[in-house]
Amino acid sequence: MSRLMLALGLGFLWLPILLLVGYAFSASAIPFQWGGFSLRWFAALAADERLLEAAWLSLRIALGAATLATLLGGLVGWVLARQRAFRGRALFGALAGAPLVLPEVVTGLSLLLTFVALQGLLGWPTERGATTVLLAHATLGAAYAAVVVQSRLSQLDRGLEEAAADLGASPAQVFRTITLPQIAPALAAAWLLAFTLSLDDVVVASFVSGPAGTTLPMLLFSRLRLGLTPEINALGAAILALAALALGLAAAMLHRHSSHSGRDRGKAG
Amino acid sequence: MLRAIPFGWLLAFVAVPCLLLLVIAFAALAEGVPPFAWGSLSLEALITLTEDGFYLAAFLRSLRVAFITAALCLALAFPMALALARAPARWQPVLVLAVLLPFWTGFLLRMAAWVGLLRDQGWLNGVLLALGVIEEPLPLLYSSGAMLLGMVHAYLPFAVLPLYATLLRLDRGLEEAAADLGAGRFTVFRTITLPLAAPGAAAAFLLVFIPAAGEYVVPEMLGPPEAQLVGRAVWGAFFQDRDWPLACLLAVLLLAVLVLPIRLFQRLETRP
C-alpha cells in the first residue's frame, strides 16, 4: 500500500519533468505537441543571446554567493556548535535561523530596504544588480549552510581534537589537520545547497536587483508571463542534463574519496 | 573575533532588514526614489489596510491555501516516507535521490511544465480529446485546483524528508513486540507507528505551511487571477502600486501571523 503510494508520488513528481524534457525534442512550434524529432529548439536556445547572458550572470552570482555563504555559514555553525555561552547567544541563534523560515517576499523586501538605506547612508551599493543579488543570496545560503555545518560539528568526536592539542598542535593546526577534514563533506554539501538556492531564486532577486541585473530565473519568469515556448522545454532538458552530470561527478568523487580513506584506515590498522 | 564577523553579518542583513520593515510600514509616501520619506511617521498604510476588506480576505485565503497544501503534502508524504524507510537499505539512496532530483530541474521550469500540461491547448486536454473522453478542452489552468497541484508539486519533497528521517529512527522492535502480543497491522500502525512519527509529521506540516503562506510564484503562474493571496498583495503593492509602506506593513503582518507556527517548528527542531 505505502509502496504503491511511493510509486504514485514519484510519478507525480517526475511526470511534468519527463514530459518537459521529452517535448524539447519535438519539431512543433506549439509546446507539448509532437511534430517529429528535431533539435531546432536547442539551436534556438544556443542562439538566444539575452538568455545566455542571463544564464552567465546567474552562474557567476551563484558561484560567489555559494562560496560566501559557505564561509559565513561555516562560522555561524561553528559558533552555534562550539560556543555555548556568550552575551547575545539567544539573539545570534534566532538571527541565524530566521532566513530559513521567513517567506521569500519578506526576505526580498526587507533586504531591498537595507540596500536602499545603505546607499543613502554610505553611498554604497551605488546601484542594485549583481552585487546586491549576490549579498542577498549569500545571506539566505549561509542560514542553510549553518544548519549543515552545525549538525556535523556536533557529531564530531572532540577527543580527537583534544588528543592533537595534548600532543602539542596549535589551535590552527588542530583545525587544519583534524577538524577541517572531518567537516569537509558538510562544507561541500552546504556549498552545493547554497549554489542551487541561488540559481533557483526568482522572488528575492526580483526585489533586490535593478535594471542591470537580470538573472536567468528573472528573465524566464518575465517570458513565462508572455507565454510558453518550446525553447523553455529545451532549457529544461539542458538544465536536467547538467544537474545529472554534476550529480554523477559528485557521486564519483565521493566514491573515490571513500575508497581512499578506506585504504588509509586499512594501512593504519 | 571569529564570532564578530558572522554576528555583524547577521545584524546587518537579518536584524536590520526586519527592523526596517517595521519602520517603513509607518513611513509617509513621497515622490521620488525611494517612494517614501525617511524619518516620517504616518498611519496611511494601516488605514488603507483596515479600510480595504481586500487585504483581510487575502490573509484568510493565504492561510487556507497554505493549510490545504500542507495537509495534502502530509497525506501524500506519509505513505511515501514509510515506503522509503522500509525499502531495502541499498535502494534507499536511489529512492531519496528520486525524491530530491526534481528540485534540481528548477522551480520555474517545473511550474512551466504544469502550464504546458494544463492549459486549454495543453498536453492533458490533447490526450483527453484524442481518447474521446471530452469533446471540448477543459479549463484546467488558472484555477484553484491547478494552483494547489503546483503548490503540492513544489513543496512535497519538504514534507517527505523530515518524515523519512523520523521513520528511519523509529525502533522497529516496538512494532514487532506489538504484533507479537497480538495487535493487527492496523492497530500496530495506529498505536505505535503513528504516535512515534507525530513530531516528524508536525515538522513536515509546518515546513510546508510556513513558506506556502507567503508563496507568490505558484499562484501567479497557475492560480485564478482573482485569487488574491498575501504574497501577491505584497508584490503588487511594491511593484505595481509603488506603495512601499503598504508592502512593508503586509510583510510585517504576515510575519506576525506566522510567528506561532515558526516558534512551534523551531521547538520541534531543537527537541533532543
- Taking only the tens place, the pLDDT of each residue in A117-148 is 999 889 888 888 999 999 999 999 999 999 99
The mean-pLDDT minimum among A152-166, A248-262, B14-28, B41-55 falls in: A248-262
**Which residues in chain A show pLDDT less than 50?**
262-269
Q: Is B219 on the interface with A (CB under 8 A)?
A: no
Is A32 near chain B, with CB under 8 Å?
A: yes
- When pLDDT is averaged across residues B136-147 and rounded to a whole number, the result is 92
Query: What value does the mean pLDDT of chain A take?
Result: 90
Contact A32 B123 (CB under 8 A): yes
CA dist., res. B228 & res. A116, Å (int):
28
Q: What letter would DSSP give residue B189?
A: I
A224 Cβ under 8 Å from any chain B Cβ: yes
A117 touches chain B (CB under 8 A): yes
Q: Which residues of chain A neighbour B244 with C-beta distances below 8 Å? A: 113
Give, to the nearest 10 degrees, the angle between helix A130-155 and helix A89-101: 120
Q: What is the pLDDT of residue A268?
A: 41
- Give yes or no for B37 touching A (CB within 8 A): no
Residue B199 touches chain A, beta carbons under 8 Å: no
Number of other CB atoms surrounding residue A234 within 10 Å: 24
pTM of the model: 0.91
- pLDDT by residue (tens digit) across A155-200? 898 899 999 999 999 989 999 999 999 999 899 989 988 999 999 9
pLDDT of residue A127: 87
Give dist(CA A174, CA A160) in Å, integer.
Answer: 9
Q: Is the peptide bond before B137 cis (omega within 30 degrees of 0)?
A: no
- Closest by Cα among B236, B231, B170, B244 to B201: B170
Most A CBs within 10 Å, among B101, B108, B207, to test the A interface:
B108
Give the distance from residue A74's alpha carbon to the nearest chain B alpha carbon, in angstroms.
9
The CATH class of the A39-227 domain is mainly alpha
Distance CA A27, CA A43 (A): 12
ipTM computed for the complex: 0.90
C-alpha cell at B158: 519538504
Residue ranges per domain, chain A? 39-227
Distance from chain centroid for Cα A108: 17
In terms of Cβ atoms closer than 10 Å to its own Cβ (0-12, 13-18, 19+), residue B118 is buried
Which among B108, B212, B102, B96 has a CA at the least distance from the CA of B152? B212
pLDDT tens-digit readout, B72-116: 999 999 999 999 999 998 998 889 888 888 877 789 999 999 999
Dihedral sign of CA atoms A260, B92, A18, A59 in order: negative
Per-residue pLDDT tens digits for B164-206: 989 988 888 888 898 889 888 888 888 888 888 898 999 999 9
CA of B230: which chain A residue's CA is closest?
A105
Give the CATH number, domain containing residue B63. Answer: 1.10.3720.10
The answer to whether the CB of B192 falls within 8 A of the CB of B179 is no
Which B residues, 116 through 155, put their C-beta within 8 Å of a C-beta on chain A?
A: 116-117, 119, 121-123, 126, 153
CA atoms of B76 and B151, how far apart (whole Å): 13
Query: Alpha helices, DSSP H only, in chain B?
Result: 4-10, 16-25, 44-51, 53-86, 92-100, 107-118, 123-131, 144-169, 172-180, 185-188, 194-213, 217-222, 230-235, 244-270
B84 touches chain A (CB under 8 A): yes
Distance, in angstroms, between A101 CA and closest chain B CA? 7
Q: Please indicate whether residue B230 or residue B33 has the higher confidence score (pLDDT).
A: B230
Q: How many CB pairs under 8 A join A and B?
A: 223
pLDDT at position A106, please?
Answer: 95
| pLDDT confidence band for B38 (50 / 70 / 90) | confident
- Please state the domain count of chain B: 1
pLDDT at position A262 is: 46
Separation CA A227–CA A259 (nearest Å): 49
Tell me, what's the pLDDT at A258? 62
Nearest Cβ partner for B112 among A102, A136, A224: A224
Calculate how close chain B gets to A231, using CA atoms only, in Å: 11
Which range of residues forms the domain containing residue B77? Answer: 4-270
Which residues in chain A have their CB less than 8 angstroms from residue B117's CB?
A: 16, 19, 32
Mean of all residue pLDDT scores within chain B:
91
Which pLDDT belongs to residue B268? 84
